[in-house]
A and B are shown apart, each in its own frame.
Chain A
Amino acid sequence: MSDLIHFEDIEVGQTHRFGGYEVTAAEIVAYARQFDPQPFHVDEEAARRSHFGGLIASGWHTGAMLMRMVCDSAIPGHATNGAIGFDDLKWLKPVRPGDVLSVENVVVEKIESRSRRDIGVVKIAGRVLSQTGEAVMSLTSLVLYRRRPGV
């Protein structure tokens, strides 16, 4: 297991780009019907008449799509124990059908746990980008990394 990237291996400033999530109208509507049934997320016609001018994804759906990209590309090979939460989440631009989302993560801080010697918190500034390179969402995630045994 020593080939996994642990807390000690992470350096502030490290940048990681990944993703390529194709957003479809069907998925926007399916997510929103279950969790965020506001007209501009579930009803194409009503969305056209809204101030968004068309169907847009629930902001929480964009968060979920970010999580999927993180699971596919950022967690494998890393000794993570989940996340304790996030700060400063901003929904910057609407996410629409046909958008292709990617992620840019930058390590901004490492915090040693005061109560546990076996884990540390890594603060990661994440931006979800559209195919035009525009940020549609940003947040600072607080990810738990395991420390190398005996360090």
Chain B
Amino acid sequence: MKYFEDVRVGESAVLGSSTISEAEILAFARKYDPQPFHTDPEAAKTSFFGGLIASGWHTCAIMMRISVEAMQREQAAGAGSPGIDSCRWLKPVRPGDTLTLKREILEAWPSRTKPIGFVRSRSVMVNQKGETVVAIVGVTMLRRRPETAA
């Protein structure tokens, strides 16, 4: 089990990759972000993006999926997240793109009231061309190792 005490500030890791299909882009956007450049391949061609692109919330969802898979792999004692400091959608995500999630630990501090710790990290998703498509700084919570918790 990976607890708060096992987090190393400054550490960077590649957490996984995922390839996004046109069908997935359309299905997500028709449900949650029905704008023509996300839902209509023909209309998207004449938009300022020049073709179909994924909803930014879809890109974030894929990042979450890769994060959860990594947490499950390393049996992290995850306790959720209070929020995100900043998220920037820097480049369009297009059908067939393969996104790789990289995360750097920026800061870690224990809760003064609960047996958890807070971890601030910077996550980026990079496409197959090496371009960063989304950059997120956020905070997650991990449970403390039972014998060290106050």
Interface positions of A (Cβ within 8 A of B): 31, 34-38, 58-60, 63-65, 67-68, 71, 75, 81-91, 139
Contact = CB atoms under 8 A, between A and B. Distances in A.
B85 A87 contact: yes
B65 A36 contact: yes
Main secondary structure on A side of the interface with B: mixed
B127 interface: no
B61 A85 contact: no
Nearest to A138: B83
Contact of A38 (B34, B35, B68): B68
Interface stretch (B9-17, B86-94, B96-104, B105-113): B86-94
Given A35-B64, A36-B64, A85 B34 contact: no
Contacts, number: 80
Given A67-B57, A68-B32, A86 B64 contact: no
Q: Which of B28, B33, B64 neighbours the largest number of chain A CB atoms within 10 Å of its CB?
A: B64
A38 B60 contact: no
B88 to A, nearest CB: 4
A104 B121 CA distance: 29
B89 A84 contact: yes
A8 B64 CA distance: 37
Nearest to A94: B80
Given A38-B78, A60-B64, A65-B32, A86 B84 contact: yes
What is the size category of the interface that chain B forms with chain A? 20 to 34
Contact of A87 (B37, B65, B68, B86): B86
A6 to B, nearest CB: 15
A35 B89 CA distance: 18
A81 B35 CA distance: 10
Contacts of B75: none
A86 to B, nearest CB: 5
B68 A37 contact: yes
B81 A64 contact: no
Given A88-B83, A88-B84, A89-B84, 7 more contacts: A34-B65, A65-B32, A67-B55, A82-B35, A85-B89, A90-B82, A90-B83
A139 B86 CA distance: 9
B60 A60 contact: yes
A35 B60 CA distance: 9
B21 to A, nearest CB: 13
A45 to B, nearest CB: 19
B33 A67 contact: yes
Contact of B81 (A34, A59, A83, A86): A59
